[in-house]
Amino acid sequence: MSEIRMTGEMRTDWDCEVTGLPAQHWGEAVFRIGDEELVLEVSVEDNVIVALMAGEDVAWKGTLKGLKKLLKGEIKAR
C-alpha cells in the first residue's frame, strides 16, 4: 500500500464535515460560487506546492514558504 503523505478535511457552516481524506501526491478542493470556481490544489512531491485558481484566468502557484511570505506581505505576487 502507498504512503499517505497528506490528509484533507472539509467543513461547512451546515455542520457538514469530511475528514481524513488520504493523499499520496496531491489534493484539490473546488468551491463553486454561481458560475465561478475557486480551486486550491496542494502537491506534496519534493517541496509543498500550492496553487490557487479563481476562475480560468487568475492563478497563483508557488511553494508553501512563498505563500506564507506573500500573505505576510514580505513578497509581492507577479
Share of the chain above pLDDT 90, in %: 79
Read off the amino acid at residue 67: L
pLDDT-derived band at 77 (thresholds 50, 70, 90) equals confident
Domain hosting residue 33, numbered range: 25-72
Query: How many distinct structural domains can be found in the chain?
Result: 1
Angstrom distance (rounded) from CA 17 to CA 36: 23
Does 11 map to a domain?
no
- CA nearest 38: which of 59, 57, 54? 54
Does 13 map to a domain?
no
**One-letter-per-residue 3-state SS of 42-77:** EEECCCEEEEEEECCCCEEEEEHHHHHHHHHCCCCC
Its pTM stands at 0.84
For residue 37 the three cell numbers come to: 470556481
Predicted pLDDT of residue 14: 96
Does 5 map to a domain?
no
Predicted pLDDT of residue 73: 92
State yes or no: pLDDT of 1 exceeds 70: no
Which residues make beta-bridge pairs with 6?
23
In this prediction, residues 24-46 reach a mean pLDDT of 93
